[in-house]
Structure 1
């Protein structure tokens, strides 16, 4: 197997480059036929992936969920396996793949090159692989980007607490082939989940599996601010929320129209605020080493 490692040097507050450089010999031990490319400011992942020469079998995304998402989108029309070295801040999708925190263990997984078929999700004209957050989630990610990077994953905890008191209620109209009727609800948060976790520790959708051909849509029900705070603290501790906090719809296609544009993130990347979403699960689109 020949491996092309694409390293996001901005991932994990800029620490990812040093992680790869400090473990260069270990990488070569497990992946002797490998090339390493460090992303620099101005580089476009899509252009780099499209320029990968023939002869490579695996494109390894080295970074967090945003890096994996961008590489996954770029290789979907290429005959390349997707590999993952989770050296970002959250590494949520990697957890759904069963990967560990140990770099050496994950290199051993890459060397074995056993893969599974994983679903990819299209939202409007872009793609995500783990979660799409609409409203509260998107605003939390936006606020987290304004906080000091030294807080690491705790940026999301602090940002979430701030968002609890800032997020606005909006009206959502949800259509799906899996629904008999249109759902109209008032909520502060909608999540489309292909994976279980987001934000580094938040078990947002325990039943989600990125290779089951099912997409979970979760929206927050109306609850008091006090309960919101308590449930958020539970999520921050890695515990699933109590029954009745969320409603869930399972499907593969969703159409969502909101009463107003809101904050959005896809796999941790902040998107332009929007109010209309056309969502499609593309089953078994990627071959991912896991």
Structure 2
């Protein structure tokens, strides 16, 4: 993994790096477009996104409609190696997670086009989910650095889960997600729910071990998972990972919890144990699948940590004002 000046030298001022990138992008008006055309909206949106970006004054050095998602990390890695400074990635949360390792601690700005099913990372950053709105942020947003979560040696952008969401993530066919969107998760979840049961969750922070009987574990760098706000206390700019553990013994509590989240009902701390730390270890009995942004990547045990200010990304000005009050951020300025 290529490492930036700020990762090599902690004293290096991250603001200088962001300002230099913002200025270079503003002056050159150059970018690379990489779109996962297997994502729900990607196939329809690629041509329109390319046209709108060019009309907005962005010069595309390269553009890739990627049908086979396994090619995405390779393309991003190659473009970074060419010295590109602004790479726009279109797709869903799985697409972002598949490439985010290559953006961690490099002097390259990620632009997000939310074209997936849930678009949780875009929601966390306040990026509009419609194509014109998202492109407006790419053209006139602000360059800002946010934390990445890290599981073992791999980074994740937004959220991870252990329990029912991971079960659903493994069982939901891509074709079903493409045709039904978020409804695909509900359909598969209903079929898996009756056979689902609690597990033992052991969490270690600073050498101190705590265990719970858990139905669901959410690991959050940002507030959204599955397109729903599940961790309003998670902030991708505070150096902390938030863990929510649903501890009620009945699996029907899981259904009630997700219904409450979907209806945006008040948070009930009695139902959920909340832990916050920059680093922790999670194990379970029996072993459980671990899903990152909807894609199962490993099994427990896992080491979870924060990649502080690891990702430089184009965000709406309102996001900067919300997570970093008093900061003016780094304005890219209009490219037209």
Counterpart in the other structure of 2:288: 262
Instruction: State the distance in 1 between where 2:36 and 2:266 align.
Output: 31
5+ long unaligned stretches in structure 2: 1-24, 316-336
Instruction: State the distance in 2 between where 1:116 and 1:166 align.
Output: 44
CA distances 1:1-38 after superposition (whole Å, capped 9, x unpaired): 221111111111xx312212134321211242123212
Query: How far apart are 1:239 and its partner, in Å?
Result: 4.1
RMSD value over aligned CA atoms?
A: 2.1
Q: Which aligned pairs between 1:267-278 and structure 2 lie closer than 5 A?
A: 267-272=293-298, 274-278=299-303
2:201 to 146, 168, 172: 172
Instruction: State the distance in 2 between where 1:237 and 1:20 align.
Output: 33
5+ long unaligned stretches in structure 1: none
TM-score by length of 1: 0.90
Counterpart in the other structure of 1:105: 133
Instruction: State the distance in 2 between where 1:140 and 1:38 align.
Output: 28
Please state whether the residue corresponding to 2:167 is helix, strand or coil.
helix
TM-score by length of 2: 0.78
Counterpart in the other structure of 1:86: 114
Contact 1:139 1:167 in 2 (8 A): no
Counterpart in the other structure of 2:313: 288
Instruction: State the distance in 1 between where 2:180 and 2:292 align.
Output: 21
Moved more, 280-289 or 76-85: 76-85
Counterpart in the other structure of 2:232: 206
- Please state which structure has a larger fraction of its residues in strand: 1
Instruction: State the distance in 1 between where 2:267 and 2:185 align.
Output: 17
Counterpart in the other structure of 1:224: 250
- Please state which structure has a larger fraction of its residues in helix: 2
Contact 2:109 2:313 in 1 (8 A): yes
Contact 2:160 2:291 in 1 (8 A): yes
Query: How far apart are 1:241 and its partner, in Å?
Result: 4.6
Instruction: State the distance in 2 between where 1:69 and 1:58 align.
Output: 17
Q: Which aligned pairs between 1:1-290 and structure 2 lie closer than 5 A?
A: 1=25, 2-12=30-40, 15-34=41-60, 35-41=62-68, 43-52=70-79, 54=82, 56-145=84-173, 148-149=176-177, 150-177=179-206, 181-200=208-227, 202-239=228-265, 241-272=267-298, 274-290=299-315
CA distances 1:70-124 after superposition (whole Å, capped 9, x unpaired): 2221122432111101011110110111111221121111112412211112212
Contact 1:46 1:74 in 2 (8 A): yes
Please state whether the residue corresponding to 1:257 is helix, strand or coil.
strand
The aligned length equals: 284
